[in-house]
Every structure is written in C-alpha cells, then in structure tokens.
Amino acid sequence: MSWLTGILAALYLACLVGLFLYGVNCYLLILLHRRHRREAREADARIQAEGRAWLEATLPVVTVQLPIFNERYVVERLLRAVTRLDYPRDRLEIQVLDDSTDDTREIAARLVEGYRAAGMDVVRLHRPVREGYKAGALKDGLAVCRGEFVAIFDADFVPDPDFLRRTLPYFRDPGVGVVQTRWGHMNRDYSLLTTGQALGIDGHFGVEQGSRAWGGLYLNFNGTAGIWRKAAILDAGGWQADTLTEDLDLSYRAQLCGWRLVFLADVVCPAELPVQIQGFKSQQQRWAKGSIQTARKLIPAILRAPGSAFKKYQAVIHLTHYAVHPLMLMVAIASPILLYLEWYFASWQSVFAAAAFFCLATFGPSALYCYSQRTLYPDWRKRLPYLPSLMLLGTGIALSNSQAVLEGLFHRAGDFIRTPKFAIQGREDSWKSKRYRSRFSWTAVGEILLAIYSGIGVYLFLDRGRILIGPFLVLYTLGFAYVGVLTVLHSMEGRRAGSGRVNIWKEPADVSEV
C-alpha cells in the first residue's frame, strides 16, 4: 500500500469514526428525552399555574420585534398575527425593524400607520444601511425599546393570540433569560421538499431541544418564536454580528453568564417552510457556517466554564454538528477510490465492522426523527413513510454545506442571505411567478457529478462483492441526484414563469435573495 493510499485510508477511517460519534449521540439524546419528558411536563404544568398569577399581578411591558427585509408577501400576515396577541395594549410595544429595499417599505409603513391609528403602539424603524444584518437590526431596536421582555418573530412566523400568555409565566423565575417555543409548519404537505424539512425540524424541536433543556445541557434560542429577558441580552454582551448565527451565539453567551433557557415543547408557533430548493440550501448554509463560526468563538470559553465533562462534550457536538456534511462528503469521495486501489478491507470481519459504523451513523439520526414523530403526533405512523425525503435532503446538501463549514472555519461573519418567503400554505399556491426567486447555484453541477460518481461506486462495490457497503453509496447517489436535479428544475421553472424563456445560467432581472 502506497503512502498516498495510506493517508487516504486514514482520513476515511477518521471520517467514519466522526460520523459514528455524531450518530451515537442521537441515541443519547433519545434516552435523555425519554428519561426527563414526564417530569418536565409535570413541572411545566406547575409553573404555568403559579406563573399565571404572577403575570396577572405584574403585567410587564413586552416589546415584540419583527426583523424584516424585503418581505412583500408575508409582512401583512405577520403584523396581523402580532397585533392580535392577547395582551393589554398599553403594555405591548411592536417594533417593525424594516431593512427593506423594495416596496415592502411602503407596505410596512402603510400597515404601521393603520395600526397606530387604531390605538396600538406600533413603530417602524428603517435603516438605510443594513449594518450587522439581523443582529444589527435587533441591537438598534433593543436600544430604544421600552419592554422588560422582548419577543422576536421572523417574517415567516404566525404566532397564536395566546403566545405571550403561555410563555411569560416562566419569567417568574428571575434566573430565566429566554423562553423558546417549538416551530410548527403551515405548509408541511406542500411538496416532498417541505415534508422532508418538517421532519428534520421536528427532530430538532421534538427531541434535541427538550433533551438538552431537561437534561441541564446547553441549548439555543432559535432566532424566532421566543422571548428574551432584556437584562439577559445586555448582561451577555448584546447582539453581535461577528457570526451568521447571532441567535446561537447569544444563547451560549447568556448561559455562560448564568442565565437559563427554557424550552416549551407544547407551545407551537406556526411557520412557513421554504418551498424553493435554493432557498432551503442557502438557509442551511447560513446555519452551517454560523454554527461553526460560533464554535470557533465560544468553545474555548465553554471548556473553561464550570460544568461536567458530559455537558461540555454535548456543547461541542451541538456547535459542530454541521461537520457531519464534510465527513459524509469525504466518505462518498474516498470509498470508490480506495476500492479501485484495492485497499478496501482485507477481510469480511473488516467489512462487518465498517458496515456497523455506517449503520450507527446513518440510523442514529433516522431513529431520532422517527422518535420525534411518535412523541409529537398521534398519527405518527402515517408520517414515517416520508422519512426517505429527509434522508435524501440530508445527504444531498453535503456539498453545499461542506463549503459553508469550510468558510465558517476560516472566515468571520459574511453576508446574511435571507430565505425567500412567498406566503405559500396550500398545494394550490405557487411561488414560480413571484419575486425573490433565488439565484441558480453552481453547486448543483457538483451535486449531479457526485451522484454519477457515487453511482459508479455502487457498481464497483457490488461488482466486487462488498454488498454490505454498497447500499450506503446508493443513498449518496440518490441524495446528490435529488438535490442537484431539483435545483436545476426550480431554476428553470422560476425563469420560465418570470420571463417566458429559460436560461438557467443568466441571473433573472428581478432577484432579491439577501
């Protein structure tokens, strides 16, 4: 075996071990959830009962912040929902943090004037320069808000009227810095793309967040559908724009300062899922890059902070979770090469060992997503057949997310690419003739090439009798093909609807993706 083959084999095995660790951690989170779920819900019921009396006696001033940027299709829906929150008008302030550059400015201004005329405390803060992006908007709004507590909703969320009544009671405990609720899905059944996303989000909110919160581990505010104590934001150093995940960054800094985060699994805030594959990919890239930036920034402080080794280990796993994508990509690329070089596995024992690593790494997340459906929905069995759509998405975005992870490792901040929203709820709705269509991504070409490459790998493995490893490359083949082809199709459909002709290589005249 040449030294080059040896290096490649060592990297391959290291990637397998990394995937194994992340996969096994899914089982740990399931066990934590099962262990603490009942007692956590009993505690929630008790806190709600005690906190309601405190809330009625104090009625603290609440500021609702709505950071928006070019949201012409959803800004009216957002304001309508927020102005219907069940809370005394004289104790509720609404800030529309409008960084828009299109006609959303006029729409928002008109809506704000209408609500102000109706006697509501609604203000619009417009910044001609988007310094710090969302973090900068939240920071500027916080500087002039009058609320003791600050609720935040992104433009694609539609909170129920009782949102504040169900979340504020937890602030009776002066050590609670933020309350995070679970995301719901208004357009879950719109397409296989949205169904897959919903399953993934359910895994995070249905299992991961609860396990971390109830197990005394670090967890995160998800940027929307939650409430902060203003004092906790200021004590932790305020909103900072040196990462693309300002919510994750502030969450960890607040916990390092001693503040507690509460997660409410039974309070659901509906939201619109991205219906365009490019929008979904850009969202995932932002989260991947930002989480790695936050890991670089805060892991040293986390390791120095008080707490158990297990708590710190879980924090590292949490912050670096998107590293699974470059690990997956490395495995997909290296497997056919090593087989071609005739290094691959000297014995069937080695084949079984490698297959076991693959299984634990692959089925750990699948087990978590299945468990989340069982936990959240009475009809969970009907939802499980859609799990393959999530698996295809998870593997198919490995290339674009690997790029984001590498950028997060070596670069600070970056442009905040916002996810286009089209007010899509039912299957009869369409985004194809609307503005904000995302640009064609050249990673689609790489994804299609990787699908072909992985398909060749499947043939090699099966042809040489490595039937236990080949099926895992089938997942890579289908995943890369699904995401790559869907990216091309969505680009073609959007341009056909917008201009009557198709040219996926030319930027559309009306694009707003930032």
Question: Which DSSP state fits 437?
Answer: P
Instruction: State the Cα angle at 436 between 194 and 432, rounded to 5°.
Output: 60
Return the sign of the alpha-carbon dihedral for residues 475, 359, 334, 342: negative
Cβ(346)–Cβ(338) under 8 Å? no
φ, ψ for residue 243, nearest 5 deg? -135, 165
C-alpha span between 484 and 278 (Å, rounded): 10
The length of the chain is 514
247 is catalytic: yes
The pairing of strands 226-229 and 176-183 is: antiparallel
Q: Which among 67, 63, 142 is positioned nearest to 104, based on CA atoms? A: 67
C-alpha span between 321 and 219 (Å, rounded): 13
The pairing of strands 62-68 and 176-183 is: unpaired
C-alpha span between 142 and 240 (Å, rounded): 12
Q: Tell me the CA distances in angstroms from 247 to 211, 223, 485, one per residue in order.
A: 19, 5, 32
Catalytic residue (choose from 98, 154, 160, 247): 247
C-alpha span between 51 and 104 (Å, rounded): 38
C-alpha span between 210 and 216 (Å, rounded): 10
Instruction: State the Cα angle at 420 between 430 and 143, rounded to 5°.
Output: 140
Q: Which among 266, 349, 248, 340 is positioned nearest to 302, based on CA atoms? A: 248
Task: Kindly state the helix (H) or strand (E) to which residue 385 belongs, with its residue range.
Answer: none
C-alpha span between 395 and 288 (Å, rounded): 14
Return the sign of the alpha-carbon dihedral for residues 314, 315, 318, 324: negative
Catalytic residue (choose from 98, 99, 154, 160): 99
Q: What is the DSSP string of 15-48?
A: HHHHHHHHHHHHHHHHHHHHHHHHHHHHHHHHHH
Cβ(476)–Cβ(329) under 8 Å? no
Cβ(419)–Cβ(279) under 8 Å? yes
Q: Which residues of 205-225 are buried (b: 16+ CB within 10 A; e: fewer)?
A: bbbbbbbbbbbebbbbbbbbb
99 is catalytic: yes
- Within a 10 A sphere around the Cβ of 471, how many other Cβ atoms? 14
Tell me the Cα Rg of the chain. Answer: 24
C-alpha span between 507 and 491 (Å, rounded): 10
Question: Which DSSP state fits 50?
Answer: H
Catalytic site residues?
99, 247
